[in-house]
């Protein structure tokens, strides 16, 4: 006779937790066999910033789970990506598929900033390679070109790449992004002691799979990412032990298109047990994941916003697309 409870919890979240518990009692390999043909990246929860609604869309494998105005999260790690997508006219004409002409997968952001990386360029008949090589590569061959020497990684290269009159945009043809590996958190008790701000302890959300990724365009989110590091440093808390309330600021510049920008607010710290037993334990798996998919790129989207002014402050659309 079954020892399972006869009363099923009423709320939807409790029902899901109950089914998850029952699934854990099932044959251990069943879930693995179902997921054996699924790209593991599609099973990771992703957050995308929706510039139309100003909400975070929470997705798994492209399936929308729900949308929320804000989320509490701590950053386990951050990696950079770079990709050169075909010109807009070619994308509309179907000249090129849904993959970049050249890309740099997950890498240390410092190496991107120092131009110590090379892009993986697919030799093709549509687009001329960045510069000549001692040996002429074959068609459809993947060749690495130094980002530091690439003309498409220079400011004001976008117009020429898009086939537009030059001088209208300061931005690069090549798009740069940052992927944050996050742990979704829930608020606990207030931090003790007298403080100028109200801060809280946080623990990982045990009602969901709390691990998630958020990919943003670096051009429009450089300052918010810097702000996160500064807010943590000002409180003498490691960034990976800091909890931020993440919201979205939809920006509509006078020139260009509106874009979504990350709006972080320091909310508190990870409680010590969670930091030791959950956050710190995620560092190695995240590193292995990033190395394994170092060839992954941010899929194409409306990432670019033409702007004028200082090239070092060139903005790009903040709509993030995971992997």
**Residue pLDDT, tens place only, 124-183:** 999 999 999 988 999 989 999 999 999 999 999 988 898 888 767 788 999 999 999 999
* 152 and 242 housed in the same domain: yes
The predicted pLDDT at position 27 comes to: 54
* Rounded distance between C-alpha atoms, residue 177 and residue 50, angstroms: 16
* 12 and 154 housed in the same domain: no
Decide if pLDDT at 18 tops 70.
Answer: no
For residue 2, what are the domain limits? 1-37
* 134 and 10 housed in the same domain: no
* 178 and 225 housed in the same domain: yes
The residues facing 249 across adjacent strands are 261
β-strands 102-107, 211-217: how paired?
Answer: unpaired
The predicted pLDDT at position 12 comes to: 54
Contact 59, 91 (CB under 8 A): no
14 — pLDDT class (breaks 50, 70, 90): low
Decide if pLDDT at 26 tops 60.
Answer: no
- In-domain check, residue 42: no
* Rounded distance between C-alpha atoms, residue 236 and residue 3, angstroms: 51
Decide if pLDDT at 306 tops 50.
Answer: no
Nearest CA to 78 among 40, 108, 57?
108
Contact 263, 224 (CB under 8 A): yes
pLDDT, greater one: 143 or 23 = 143
- In-domain check, residue 309: yes
67-119 per-position pLDDT tens digit: 999 999 999 999 999 999 999 888 888 888 778 999 998 999 999 999 999 99
Q: Please state, rounded to an integer, the average pLDDT across all residues of the chain.
A: 80
* 29 and 152 housed in the same domain: no
The predicted pLDDT at position 231 comes to: 96
Contact 267, 92 (CB under 8 A): no
- In-domain check, residue 14: yes
Mean pLDDT of 276-287: 86
- In-domain check, residue 237: yes
* 173 and 275 housed in the same domain: yes
The predicted pLDDT at position 180 comes to: 94
**Which CA distances in Å does 312 have to 61, 85, 113, 223?**
34, 21, 12, 12
Decide if pLDDT at 4 tops 60.
Answer: no
- How many domains is the chain partitioned into structurally? 2
**Hey, what are 224's tokens?**
């918010």
Which range, of 15-29, 140-154, 275-289, 295-309, averages the lowest pLDDT? 295-309
* 202 and 222 housed in the same domain: yes
* 122 and 96 housed in the same domain: yes
Whole-prediction pTM: 0.77
* 115 and 175 housed in the same domain: yes
């Amino acid at each position: 006779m079954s020892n399972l409870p006869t009363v099923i919890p009423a709320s939807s979240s409790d029902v899901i937790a109950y089914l998850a518990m029952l699934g854990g009692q099932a044959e251990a390999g069943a879930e693995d066999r179902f997921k054996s043909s699924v790209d593991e990246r599609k099973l990771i929860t992703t957050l995308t910033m929706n510039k139309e609604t100003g909400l975070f869309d929470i997705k798994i494998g492209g399936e929308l789970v729900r949308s929320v105005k804000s989320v509490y999260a701590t950053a386990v790690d951050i990696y950079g990506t770079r990709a050169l997508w075909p010109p807009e006219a070619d994308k509309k004409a179907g000249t090129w598929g849904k993959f970049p002409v050249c890309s740099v997968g997950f890498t240390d952001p410092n190496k991107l900033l120092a131009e110590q990386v090379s892009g993986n360029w697919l030799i093709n008949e549509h687009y001329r390679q960045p510069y000549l090589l001692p040996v002429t590569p074959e068609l459809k061959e993947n060749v690495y070109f130094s980002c530091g020497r690439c003309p498409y990684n220079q400011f004001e290269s976008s117009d020429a790449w898009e086939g537009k009159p030059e001088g209208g945009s300061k931005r690069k043809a090549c798009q740069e992004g940052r992927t944050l590996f996050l742990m979704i958190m829930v608020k606990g008790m207030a931090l003790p002691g007298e403080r100028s701000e109200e801060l809280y302890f946080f623990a990982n959300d045990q009602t969901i799979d709390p691990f998630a990724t958020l990919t943003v365009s670096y051009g429009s989110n450089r300052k918010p990412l810097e702000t996160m590091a500064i807010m943590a440093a000002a409180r003498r808390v490691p960034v990976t032990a800091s909890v931020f309330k993440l919201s979205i600021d939809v920006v509509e510049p006078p020139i260009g298109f509106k874009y979504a920008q990350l709006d972080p607010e320091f909310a508190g710290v990870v409680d010590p047990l969670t930091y030791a037993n959950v956050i710190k334990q995620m560092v190695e798996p995240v590193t292995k994941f990033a190395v394994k998919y170092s060839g992954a790129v941010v899929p194409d989207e409306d990432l670019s916003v033409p702007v004028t002014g200082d090239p070092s402050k060139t903005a790009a659309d903040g709509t993030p697309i995971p992997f």
